[in-house]
Structure 1
Amino acid sequence: MSDVTTTDLYEVTMALSYLRERMTEQATFSCFVRDLPPHRGFLVAAGAESALAYLSRYRVERDDVRAFAEVLGRPVHDLMPLLGTRFTGTVRAIPEGHVVLAGEPLFEVTAPLPQAQLVETVVLNHLSHQTAVASKCVRCVLAAQGHPVVDFSLRRTHGTAAGYQAARLAAMAGFAGTSNVAAADAEQVPAVGTMAHSYIEAFENEEAAFLAFARCHPDPVTFLVDTYDTESGVAAAARVLHALDRGDGAAVRLDSGDIKALAFHTRAILDAAGLPQVRIVASGGLDEFAVADLVSAGAPIDVYAVGTRVGVSADAPYLDSAYKLVEYDGRPVMKLSSAKVTAPGRQQVFRRPGCVDVIGMADEPPPAGSMPLLKTLMRAGVRCTPAGRLQDARERLAKDVAELPATAREIRSPVPVRATVSEPLAALTGQVRQRIERAVLGDVTGPT
């Protein structure tokens, strides 16, 4: 089986029914986030690149058809209309790294209706997870206020693929490195790492462990100093660094306890030992909230290593995201469910300086001084632009974040930036609503 079976069952049942009804005209689906999670003043567009890669290789094979038939408990013959289905559509998306706001279309799929329906689950998965993690990562960079931040999340992410994505997104957000070797190699970002407590425990004492590690690794080393008693560990590290004349570029890592108090004690010990150049790395359950507190307290920490809470976006592990039909066979459509109303038609996001955004119709003239964010990245199921470069996304993100109002960048209680809706889109929304109410709701709301 190929990865097309990684989907929700109802995508298959709907697509099969569409084919039976010969409903294969062009459909447009829009992916967006309805509302921002708590403590978010903005989001970061991410996941488009892996979603496009998925669409590029999408094809339903015989084994997939057999799997669909098996789970539905139906003869294989009933599912054969799906055989050979591949994605032949057009994709417009906001390139990765751009700041995005609630309600803005991140990713738009236009394809024959069965195709556009079948790919929903995986496209939404890529965009939702990666946008959440990228947004968490950039908040860590903001909280660190210029101090390097590195990614230690792999061992706690929800699967190794998610760990790879977290490392890539961290680099996009401005992290200085990752512990993930595969991601460091593939994405050409620095690999970083120190040692575990088990390494220290394997030796008779900390000093022996530090000596052995330094002898093995000629580059600047980082010693984990809190396996037993942090202050004695720092003193042992200082003795080894002096004995080997390895202070330049070296560091010690604090991973537990009262990180703020220990950082001050550690700095004092290192300075007294004549090692002011030795840096302090902090880790152990950190995220942007903890980093912000340490920075504001003036803790003498040089590098922040964040892991679990960032790799899973612990305080906001999901987004209120949606993939909704907005047009079928040239007919704008919308959803009227309470609290889940959608805007109809193909849309565009027009951005003015300061991330002052207007959500409008795809074919309306841009407002003065604005630029359209959604770009056509795929036509006829084939990429029509080169794959996005991580460095470009990183630069895009840095520029957008710098233009945000300071209140939107706050770590606690930010003020979210809100997009407005253009007059043409508002007018279309009203027209489509009236049409639906007359055609569909008339039977319910009419005279009794």
Structure 2
Amino acid sequence: MPGEPPVEATDGAITARTDAYFNRTRAIVQRFGDCRVTYAVFLRRPVVSAPRLMLDWLKSVAAARGTQFEIELMHPEGTWVGAGDPILYITGSFIELSDLETLYLQKLGPPCVAAHNAYQMCLELPEVGFLAMDARHCAGFEMQNMMAYAASVGGAAAKREGAKGFIGNATDATAHWFGASHGYGTMPHALIGYAGSTLRAAEMFHEAYPDEPLTVLVDYFGREVTDGIAVCQRFPELAAAGRLAVRLDTHGGRFLEGLDPAESYAVLERHAPGAIRRYRSETELRHLVGTGVSAAAIWRMREELDKAGFPKVRIVASSGFGVGKCRVMAEARAPIDVVGTGSFIPDSWSETYATADIVAYDGVPRVKLGREFLLRRNGERKKNGGHG
């Protein structure tokens, strides 16, 4: 009904979803008397601040409970935060705050780490546009929304430093984080299997969506170059107008058409010899000259498209483009136009654990031994105003 709080902000939902000891703490404080407390909220690793989901939820809870929380945001959205540095302080009634910690930490830690990953990826490839393709890797819509928000924050931070950043995402429900009304994408492997050929899948898509740019997945039959050029020849107007792209998603079990280890080295020797002449880890070498979507594969595709007379056809690359792979691609100057990735999702979920500690009771500083670094320093001021 209008005016009612969202379900997750109601006392029933909070009680069911929070840790039992917080519920018991609330009951004890209700019995023995309330006090005004201040929490410091932080992560143990460097991150990019992405607090909006947490702040919006706290605002909903405060409204539902008829109270106010004073929030001092020390690091505005999209700014870098050092390990252990409080992102924000929350002050309010201990009764009304004591059972919220579990839930607001869930909404803060993961997006902060994912935003940091997205930020780093975009800075490694500043001339490349990124598409957030995280949805299929998420554990339900709440995580999907969290990761899309994080990519938008990290991408926006990179844009402020001159990178193209994230230009969109794959789902309609989270497109608003990128200032769009809908998600982007053309075809999965399933459509090509249904059509029977890469070319026929491209024809079907163009007939169904004649006004849309066409991005064709070209690895289904292992003929990335042959099928990619066939599609270009079928749609020369789109190719000449820059409205046609080939998407490379070759899996790690084989090389792109026409490549093997020797030819992969030869391709990079022509275009980025410095990238293969210094020490490389096994993972870096795989990104450069190995199977799957390597730097050599991308350069090979660019060579063949240009040779066939299609210099304006773009290359979209996907498959494991995390921070490390983006860095290697930058060193190889790989001619990528767009990266589709969900690899900003944190690899180690334990790194996403945010923590909160009370640092003052009724205005008196007090924190458990070893967490004195969370106490406000004399003269410290909030960096971005209140949010209550």
State the TM-score bracket (shorter-chain normalisation): 0.7 to 0.9
Aligned-pair CA distance for 1:85: 4.8
Map of 1:188 onto structure 2: 179
1:224 to 217, 220, 230: 217
1:300 to 324, 335, 340: 335
* Contact 1:326–1:343, Cα closer than 8 Å, also in 2: no
CA distance in 2: counterparts of 1:160 and 1:320, whole angstroms: 20
2:61 to 53, 58, 82: 58
- Report the residue type matching 1:277 in the other structure: K
1:17 to 28, 39, 44: 28
* Contact 1:31–1:106, Cα closer than 8 Å, also in 2: yes
CA distance in 2: counterparts of 1:233 and 1:95, whole angstroms: 47
Any unmatched runs of 5+ in structure 2?
Answer: 1-6, 156-165, 252-291
Aligned-pair CA distance for 1:317: 5.3
CA distance in 1: counterparts of 2:362 and 2:239, whole angstroms: 73
Cα-to-partner distance string for 1:380-435 (whole Å, 9 max, x where unaligned): xxxxxxxxxxxxxxxxxxxxxxxxxxxxxxxxxxxxxxxxxxxxxxxxxxxxxxxx
CA distance in 2: counterparts of 1:251 and 1:220, whole angstroms: 8
2:361 to 322, 325, 328: 328
| Correspondences of 1:35-114 after superposition (within 5 Å) | 35-36=44-45, 42-47=46-51, 49-58=52-61, 85-93=65-73, 94-114=75-95
CA distance in 1: counterparts of 2:349 and 2:120, whole angstroms: 12
Alpha-carbon RMSD across the aligned residues, in angstroms, is 2.3
Structure number with bigger Rg: 1
* Contact 2:239–2:312, Cα closer than 8 Å, also in 1: no
**Alignment pair present for 1:163 and 2:155:** no
- Report the residue type matching 2:50 in the other structure: A
Aligned-pair CA distance for 1:374: 4.8
Aligned-pair CA distance for 1:249: 2.1
- Report the residue type matching 1:321 in the other structure: A
* Contact 2:215–2:245, Cα closer than 8 Å, also in 1: yes
Measured at CA, do residues 227 and 121 of structure 1 come closer, stay the same or move farther in structure 2, by a change above 3 Å?
same
- Report the residue type matching 2:18 in the other structure: T
Q: With structure 2 as the length reference, what TM-score do the two structures score?
A: 0.77
* Contact 1:59–1:87, Cα closer than 8 Å, also in 2: yes
Cα-to-partner distance string for 1:67-102 (whole Å, 9 max, x where unaligned): xxxxxxxxxxxxxxxxx8554321111321121112
CA distance in 2: counterparts of 1:374 and 1:244, whole angstroms: 47
CA distance in 1: counterparts of 2:332 and 2:187, whole angstroms: 27
Measured at CA, do residues 127 and 244 of structure 1 come closer, stay the same or move farther in structure 2, by a change above 3 Å?
closer
Deviates more, 1:165-174 or 1:243-252: 243-252
SS at match of 1:182: coil
CA distance in 1: counterparts of 2:184 and 2:130, whole angstroms: 11
* Contact 1:29–1:326, Cα closer than 8 Å, also in 2: yes
CA distance in 2: counterparts of 1:28 and 1:111, whole angstroms: 7
Cα-to-partner distance string for 1:142-196 (whole Å, 9 max, x where unaligned): 1213211111001111221211222222122221111121111465237321210
1:137 to 95, 98, 118: 118
Map of 1:249 onto structure 2: 243
Measured at CA, do residues 142 and 216 of structure 1 come closer, stay the same or move farther in structure 2, by a change above 3 Å?
same
Any unmatched runs of 5+ in structure 1?
Answer: 37-41, 61-83, 348-359, 367-371, 379-448
CA distance in 1: counterparts of 2:226 and 2:86, whole angstroms: 55
Map of 2:189 onto structure 1: 197
Identical amino acids, percent of aligned pairs: 25
CA distance in 2: counterparts of 1:290 and 1:200, whole angstroms: 27
2:372 to 314, 318, 342: 342
- Report the residue type matching 2:72 in the other structure: R
CA distance in 1: counterparts of 2:86 and 2:237, whole angstroms: 59
* Contact 1:4–1:58, Cα closer than 8 Å, also in 2: no
CA distance in 2: counterparts of 1:182 and 1:19, whole angstroms: 40
CA distance in 1: counterparts of 2:362 and 2:374, whole angstroms: 13
- Report the residue type matching 1:252 in the other structure: V
CA distance in 1: counterparts of 2:305 and 2:110, whole angstroms: 41
How many residues end up aligned between the 2 structures?
Answer: 322
- Report the residue type matching 1:256 in the other structure: T
Q: With structure 1 as the length reference, what TM-score do the two structures score?
A: 0.67
- Report the residue type matching 1:91 in the other structure: I
Map of 2:264 onto structure 1: none
- Report the residue type matching 1:219 in the other structure: E
Measured at CA, do residues 285 and 251 of structure 1 come closer, stay the same or move farther in structure 2, by a change above 3 Å?
same
* Contact 2:50–2:153, Cα closer than 8 Å, also in 1: no
Aligned-pair CA distance for 1:58: 1.9
1:319 to 342, 352, 355: 352
**Alignment pair present for 1:119 and 2:100:** yes
CA distance in 1: counterparts of 2:87 and 2:48, whole angstroms: 10
* Contact 2:169–2:178, Cα closer than 8 Å, also in 1: no
- Report the residue type matching 1:233 in the other structure: D
CA distance in 1: counterparts of 2:94 and 2:380, whole angstroms: 28
Map of 1:443 onto structure 2: none
Map of 2:229 onto structure 1: 235
- Report the residue type matching 2:250 in the other structure: S
CA distance in 2: counterparts of 1:322 and 1:111, whole angstroms: 18
CA distance in 2: counterparts of 1:149 and 1:261, whole angstroms: 20
Measured at CA, do residues 293 and 172 of structure 1 come closer, stay the same or move farther in structure 2, by a change above 3 Å?
same
